[in-house]
């Protein structure tokens, strides 16, 4: 605890001032010092009543629970949103970002202040969202839902429409088709959700039922739950939602979600109008009514969890469930690319024949998926360069020296040695070029981290 540490020095060190809630702990210490209060301090873990009955807790823990309750009751009855807090007498300065006081997690908040505007601008550019659409999205609900799901990488791809679907992989030339393995239509992210295959139909049925159950447990007004579930089901079935079919009371929520895009509902971007409907509902519950943003976070969470299940189902259907099935599937796909690469043999320079396999089928049969992948990644660039150079030489009319050597007698070993040397030179040259390009990217043209910027500022002053 900061107050305990403070007993060993008079003036706070700079690092101490950056600790969470420094203004409060410093004021406590100075008050006890000025008035000569012989105080003792002890840290007590909060919220222990979540796992242990209140009556079974020690006195310090009970007092901690009581303090939390009184603070919560005051905030509900008389509390107000105060983005700027008052400076306490013993805190001479405070960090403020966009009119909001920051009292903890300074590094994270500074990074967030820099990154968030850039990220929002990227979303607006990519999805053609206006400022009004950005403001109507329930970002707080999305933030809370993400914290409850421990799948950081996959959540990032889902929320930003970055999943490696067949369409994406085809555009990036990682595979030779962009079709769904089940129905052979183009596999986009939306198609994965709305595919007509039996496994996807079962997923949609389960997805529609589970949010209903979750909303019922949260004692949501039936009309709100029914409207939201029906609208989602209609979009999944037809790709659009007819607002005229629903009560006028819910028109704003449906239309605002339409402006965001119903497809983005599955990326956690729901309208704040849904939360407002819950806040304004008159449904009487036995317990405490959940706040609208907490209700919205539950909707986003269950949607994202079901989408993750769908993506994992899709991967099992594409790649197989067992390790053996996945190996066979991957080898089949890589073999197609390896054959196409080896077919360029006739278009490459004769001196580069060492890059190719004389019997590609034998190589594929004897190799694992990883071996084939290594062959493709290490030879693709070199073969492409060889084809290009041979094309340029053909235009000029040059003749390769290998064509003359092939006329000699007993020249097999000579050709083989030339192939080996040329292959090694090509691959090593290509590797050095990649390394130089990587170094150039890391040393120039990259935005410096805000942490590094702040460090430079500290040194300068």
pLDDT in tens, 382-418: 899 988 888 887 766 555 555 555 554 445 555 566 6
Contact 310, 236 (CB under 8 A): no
Distance CA 278, CA 174 (A): 46
As a whole number of Å, the end-to-end CA separation of the chain is: 31
Count of other CB atoms within 10 angstroms of residue 357: 17
pLDDT band at 77 (very low <50, low <70, confident <90, very high): confident
Residue 29 has pLDDT above 90, yes or no: no
Burial of residue 260 (number of CB atoms within 10 Å: 0-12, 13-18, 19+): buried
Of residues 438 and 332, more confidently modeled: 332
Output the pLDDT for position 458: 41
Query: Residues of the chain with pLDDT > 70: what percent?
Result: 83
Using CA atoms, how far apart are residues 253 and 266, in angstroms rounded to an integer? 16
Residue 221: exposure state from Cβ atoms within 10 A (0-12, 13-18, ≥19): middle
- pLDDT for residue 355: 87
Position with higher pLDDT, 292 vs 455: 292
Q: What is the pLDDT of residue 460?
A: 39
Q: For residue 267, is pLDDT > 50?
A: yes
SS3 sequence of the chain: CHHHHHCCCCCCCHHHHCCCCHHHHHHHHHHHHHCCCCCCCCCCCCCHHHCCCHHHCCHHHHHHHHHHHHHHHHHHHCCCCCCCCCCCCCCCCCEEECCEEECCCHHHHHHHHHHHHHHHHHHHHHHCCCHHHHHHECHHHHHHHHHCCCCHHHHHHHHCCCCCCHHHHHHCCCCCCCECCCCCCECCHHHHHHCCCHHHHHHHHHHHHHHHHHHHHCCCCHHHHHHHHHHHHHHHHHCCCCHHHCCHHHHHHHHHHHHHCHHHHHHCCCEHHHHHHHHHCCCCCCCCCCCHHHHHHHHHHHHHHHHHHHHHHHHHHHHCCCHHHHHHHHHHHHHHHHHHHHHHHHHCCHHHHHHCCCCHHHHHHHCCHHHHHHHHHHHHHHHHHHHHHHHHHHHHCCCCHHHHHCCCCCCHHHHHHHHHHHHHHHHHHHHHHHHHHHHHHHHCCCCCCHHHHHHHHHHHC
- Is the model's pLDDT at 95 over the cut of 50? yes
Res 453 pLDDT > 60: no
Q: Rounded distance, CA 279 to CA 253, Å? A: 13
pLDDT of residue 134: 95
Residue 110 has pLDDT above 60, yes or no: yes
**Average of per-residue pLDDT values in the chain:** 84
Q: How confident is the model at residue 451 (pLDDT cuts 50, 70, 90)?
A: very low
What is the reported pLDDT for 431?
59
Report, as an integer, the average pLDDT of 198-212: 92
The answer to whether residues 356 and 342 touch, using CB atoms and an 8 Å cutoff, is yes
Check residue 283 and give its pLDDT.
59
Mean pLDDT for the stretch of residues 263-292: 82
pLDDT value at residue 176: 81
Q: Is the pLDDT of residue 35 over 50?
A: yes
Residue entry with tokens 């039936």: 222
Lowest mean pLDDT among 52-56, 200-204, 322-326: 322-326
User: Which of the four pLDDT bands, split at 50, 70 and 90, describes residue 286?
Assistant: low
| pLDDT one-digit tens code per residue, 173-195 | 888 889 998 999 999 999 999 99
* pLDDT score for 2: 64
On whether the CB atoms of residues 109 and 20 are closer than 8 A, the answer is no
Q: Is residue 114 over pLDDT 70?
A: yes
């Amino acid at each position: 605890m900061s107050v305990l540490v403070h007993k060993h020095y008079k003036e706070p060190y700079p690092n101490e001032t950056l600790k969470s809630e420094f203004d409060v702990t410093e004021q406590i210490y100075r008050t006890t010092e000025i008035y000569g209060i012989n105080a003792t301090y002890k840290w007590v873990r909060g919220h222990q009543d979540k796992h242990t009955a209140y009556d079974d807790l020690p006195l310090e823990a009970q007092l901690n629970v009581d303090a939390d309750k009184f603070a919560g009751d005051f905030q509900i009855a008389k509390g107000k949103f105060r983005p700027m807090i008052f400076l306490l007498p013993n805190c001479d300065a405070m960090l403020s970002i966009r009119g909001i006081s920051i009292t903890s997690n300074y590094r994270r908040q500074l990074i967030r202040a820099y990154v968030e505007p850039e990220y929002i601008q990227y979303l607006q550019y990519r999805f053609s969202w206006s400022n009004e659409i950005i403001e109507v999205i329930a970002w707080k609900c999305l933030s809370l839902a993400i914290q409850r799901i421990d799948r950081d990488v996959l959540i990032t791809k889902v929320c930003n429409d970055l999943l490696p679907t067949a369409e994406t992989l085809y555009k990036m030339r990682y595979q030779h088709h962009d079709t769904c393995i089940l129905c052979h239509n183009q596999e986009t992210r939306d198609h994965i959700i709305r595919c007509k295959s039996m496994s996807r139909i079962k997923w949609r049925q389960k997805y529609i039922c589970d949010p209903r159950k979750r909303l019922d447990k949260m004692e949501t007004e039936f009309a709100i739950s029914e409207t939201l579930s029906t609208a989602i089901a209609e979009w999944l079935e037809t790709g659009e939602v007819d607002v005229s079919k629903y009560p006028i009371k819910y028109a704003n929520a449906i239309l605002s979600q339409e402006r965001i895009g119903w497809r983005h509902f599955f990326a956690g971007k729901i309208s704040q109008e849904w939360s407002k409907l819950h806040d304004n509902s008159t449904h009487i519950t036995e317990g405490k009514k959940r706040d609208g943003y907490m209700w919205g976070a539950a909707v986003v969470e269950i949607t994202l969890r079901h989408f993750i299940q769908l993506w994992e189902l899709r991967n099992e259907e594409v790649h197989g469930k067992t390790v053996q099935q996945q190996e066979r599937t991957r080898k089949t796909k890589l073999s197609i690319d390896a054959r196409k690469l080896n077919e360029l043999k006739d278009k490459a320079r004769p001196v580069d024949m060492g890059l190719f396999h004389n019997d590609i089928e034998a190589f594929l049969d004897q190799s694992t998926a990883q071996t084939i992948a290594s062959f493709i990644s290490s030879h693709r660039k070199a073969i492409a360069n060889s084809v290009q150079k041979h094309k340029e030489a053909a235009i000029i009319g040059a003749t390769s020296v290998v064509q003359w050597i092939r006329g000699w007698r007993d020249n097999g070993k000579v050709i083989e040695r030339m192939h080996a040397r040329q292959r090694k030179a090509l691959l090593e040259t290509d590797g050095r070029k990649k390394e130089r390009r990587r170094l150039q990217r890391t040393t120039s043209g990259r935005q410096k981290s805000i942490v590094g910027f702040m460090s430079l500022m500290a040194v300068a002053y």
